[in-house]
Structure 1
Amino acid sequence: MSRSSFKSPVIEPKTQWLEVILLWVAGISAAMQFAKFSVSFDDLLVHYQAGATSTGAALSAVGLVGLVFGVSAGMIASRVGYLKVLVGALLLGGVLSFIQSTLPSFQLLFVTRMLEGFSQLGVVVAAPTLIAKLSAPQHKSLTMGIWGTFFGIAFAVCGWAGKSILDQYGLQALFLNHGVFITTIGVVLFFILRKNPVLDLVPVTEMQGGFFAQMMKIYRNPRALLPSCVFVFYTCTLVSVLTYVPGLIDDAALQKWMLILLPLVTTCGTFLAGAIAQYLMRPQRVALMAYLGVAVSALVLSFVGDSAVVFCFVVGVLVLFLGMVPGSALAMIPTLARNPSEQAQGYGLLAQFGNLGATVGPPTFATAIAVYGLSGLVVLVLCVCAFGVLFSLLAGRIKAVV
């Protein structure tokens, strides 16, 4: 009998859906670090009397950390271990929320917001890397689409449950509840994942050389860089559209509904992109289709400004296509990355570029709309789409890792 007859059958890897969903919940808990300050902004203004500028800086301080340390976070996670970074980041977030629940001085509050930036960054780098590891190849784009919805879901939950807690029990209860939530998910994930045989938790030390040399190597790696280049034009556009477009609608009732519905529409687009990338086409093609859809919708907007209802519908279509961009960009990373270390670097770069877009986009769009109105918005969106299409095409030229 030949030796080959004794070979054991190949076992197809299976997606561990419970673990994937829990990691998604961890992402939601981290995104609530933005959402809890957004929903309580007016209450913070009243309590601290620090002025809108200072309070706004406290709100954005979490994102500034990602802007500065995004790439280095991916490098650190690949060396220390993804589960350690994830659990440590979640527990740090819990401790900081507990401190905030005491309503400390504004200076201490600002420090906790800066530290929350490290907590949030650790989660958005480590969690998707672990999700990709726990997903079967045939489900990776789908699970990345699910992961990509965490930010919109966090804002929706905070706008619903968080606002209710805030109105009934005040700021302290809001921050305390978030602390309990983020700490609990951190503890649960530690006990569920620490002995998971699928996860290779040995730190990766393959990258040699100095810190800055490693960073430049990441920036020169198209497998990590191009998904982030696709993503950055989404963040600079979406934040601006959600902020400024409702103000272009004259009908107050429609304006109120748009503020509620647009974040949900973009979340649907993100999940839809993950499903399409999983079953119909490569993520790069999905990103290309999404940016073309945004461009066409923007062109149509310039002709329907007289009808508020039609204008709102076209904006909804635009935001749906725009929401497909992060789903496709997130799906690109495990598709193109050659190992978990490269994946973590890709997610770190994505976080950095995402914060760059969210920082640069709003003032740019605000200026264009203030000077040129709807025409300024349309032209700027078309310029953004041109770059998005370019980088989607470049990403499409890279061969996927099987």
Structure 2
Amino acid sequence: MAEQPARAAPGDSAKAVTRWAEVAVLVGAGVTASLQLGKVAPALLAIAADLQVGLSGAAGLLSVFALMGAVFGLAAGLVAARLGMRRALLAGLWALGAAGLAAAFAPGPALLYACRVVEGAGFLAVVVSAPTLVAARAAPADRALAMSWWSIFMPSGIALGMLAAPVVEGFGWRMAWAVMSLLPPFAALLAGALLPRSAGQPVGAQDGLRRRLAALWRARLPVLLAGAFSCYAVIYFGIAGFLPARLVEGFALALPLAGLAGAAAAIVNIGGNLLAGRLIRRGWRASLLVLSAGMAMALLSAGTFALPFSLGLTLAAALLASGIGGMIPASLFTLVPRSVPEPSLTGPALGLVVQCNNIGSLLAPMAVAAAARQGWGFAALPLLAAGLALVLLARPLRRLG
């Protein structure tokens, strides 16, 4: 099959060089947004005790972002394109700050959950607008590297949230959340100062919603790319969510050490994100990285649950799966601007990616937990199935070069 030429991303004609300072601020904005997701896990027990909602009631705070992303991801991309990506980014960051600060002082669970819903809306606005702007502010030769930088936003924010555990223990969850709520507005100030008002202009009203949805569907590749992202999310969150429990139950590892292993898996995933950008810049094809890394990640993640006889091998399989798998989101983000038939569809395509990623993150706990009830070895089955689906969905992406 003939290779499809690479699509231009927004802003190619308006620049000759990459605005690396702007790219760095946009990535930082994404990290501050994902930190509002990562801040929940170390505060779960404190919130449960403070608000007397129990662990299950507090744990619901973790799923708010995923549920909103799974339902409204594509809609968020369409709305951001209509408002303008710069405007959507700044609005999302300020909403995250205001709602995060209100959540820190919420007197009861009802207001806390309401604040999390507003935070979720702000999070969606940031994660569909910021990567669109990253693609627009990077020169074609640097776009793969810039998009790989963007791909670190989620594991970085989650890892930083985990590192806030001592602050929660020393000063309480409310003080920790209040401090973290200041970071998105700070990022908004930096982004507002660096990004020109001409960046991320709104899509015209004549560019109707139905036409853009139809164009995305006819292009087919953005849909396949988003589906591949969903499969990656199943594998990644299968490891991230269940590795500590696997180590504790399967090898009697102490819980703090098991948690440290989980943090290490997130860190090596960041390394895979950055490695993919370097490889693509040196001429490796992003689509082939998705295929090869997808097969390796599926097999290694299955080994994490199917190797009952060696703690060392299980840890090695988990870390390798996460590290090699980190090349997948970086490569997929690189392909998004090239998968759309016109630049104005980059934001909606990223919204679809966010939606499918969150669907995968919701499916992973249910699928792995159901399989693990029959024994940890059975937990490998949904991960292998997701890996096979990822490879099948990613094969047509080879047309993008």
TM-score relative to the length of structure 1: 0.89
What do residues 241-298 of structure 1 show as CA deviations (whole Å, max 9, x unaligned)? 1222333330515634412211111121122222222223221111001112124435
Compute the displacement of 1:37 (Å): 1.3
- Structure 2 distance, partners of 1:298, 1:97, is 34
Partner of 2:5: none
Compute the displacement of 1:20 (Å): 0.5
What do residues 1-21 of structure 1 show as CA deviations (whole Å, max 9, x unaligned)? xxxxxxxxx997111111111
- Structure 1 distance, partners of 2:133, 2:111, is 33
* 2:250 pairs with 1:252: no
- Structure 2 distance, partners of 1:38, 1:200, is 35
Task: Provide the secondary structure at the position in 1 that maps to 2:39.
Answer: helix
Contact 2:305 2:379 in 1 (8 A): no
Partner of 2:390: 388
Compute the displacement of 1:215 (Å): 3.5
Contact 1:43 1:171 in 2 (8 A): yes
Partner of 1:69: 72
* 2:181 pairs with 1:182: no
Paired residue for 1:218, among 216, 219, 225?
216
Paired residue for 1:165, among 164, 167, 172?
167
Compute the displacement of 1:319 (Å): 1.7
Paired residue for 1:234, among 227, 232, 235?
232
* 2:270 pairs with 1:267: yes
Contact 2:305 2:314 in 1 (8 A): no
- Structure 1 distance, partners of 2:202, 2:150, is 23
* 2:146 pairs with 1:147: no
- Structure 1 distance, partners of 2:214, 2:43, is 39
Task: Provide the secondary structure at the position in 1 that maps to 2:40.
Answer: helix
Compute the displacement of 1:67 (Å): 1.2
* 2:286 pairs with 1:287: no
| Amino acid in the other structure paired with 1:232 | S
- Structure 2 distance, partners of 1:302, 1:91, is 41
- Structure 1 distance, partners of 2:105, 2:33, is 20
What do residues 354-387 of structure 1 show as CA deviations (whole Å, max 9, x unaligned)? 110011111111111221421x223322211111
Moved more, 93-102 or 122-131: 93-102
Contact 2:303 2:380 in 1 (8 A): no
Contact 1:25 1:185 in 2 (8 A): yes
Compute the displacement of 1:214 (Å): 4.4
| Amino acid in the other structure paired with 1:40 | A
Compute the displacement of 1:57 (Å): 1.7
Unaligned runs of 5+ in 2: 1-12
TM-score relative to the length of structure 2: 0.89
Contact 1:251 1:308 in 2 (8 A): no
Moved more, 29-38 or 236-245: 236-245
Partner of 2:7: none
Compute the displacement of 1:86 (Å): 0.3
| Amino acid in the other structure paired with 2:242 | Y
| Amino acid in the other structure paired with 1:225 | V
- Structure 1 distance, partners of 2:113, 2:279, is 41
* 2:43 pairs with 1:44: no
Partner of 2:328: 325
- Structure 1 distance, partners of 2:103, 2:87, is 24
Quick one: higher RCO (CA 8 Å, sep 6+), 1 or 2? 2
Partner of 1:120: 123
* Identity level (%): 23
Contact 1:283 1:329 in 2 (8 A): yes
Unaligned runs of 5+ in 1: 1-9
Return closer, same or farther for 1:146/1:91 CA change in 2, 3 Å cut-off. same
Contact 1:219 1:225 in 2 (8 A): yes
- Structure 2 distance, partners of 1:372, 1:219, is 40
Task: Provide the secondary structure at the position in 2 that maps to 1:381.
Answer: helix
Aligned length: 384
- Structure 2 distance, partners of 1:74, 1:148, is 17
| Amino acid in the other structure paired with 2:383 | V
Contact 1:224 1:342 in 2 (8 A): no
Return closer, same or farther for 1:32/1:299 CA change in 2, 3 Å cut-off. closer
Larger Rg: 1 or 2?
A: 1
- Structure 2 distance, partners of 1:163, 1:257, is 12
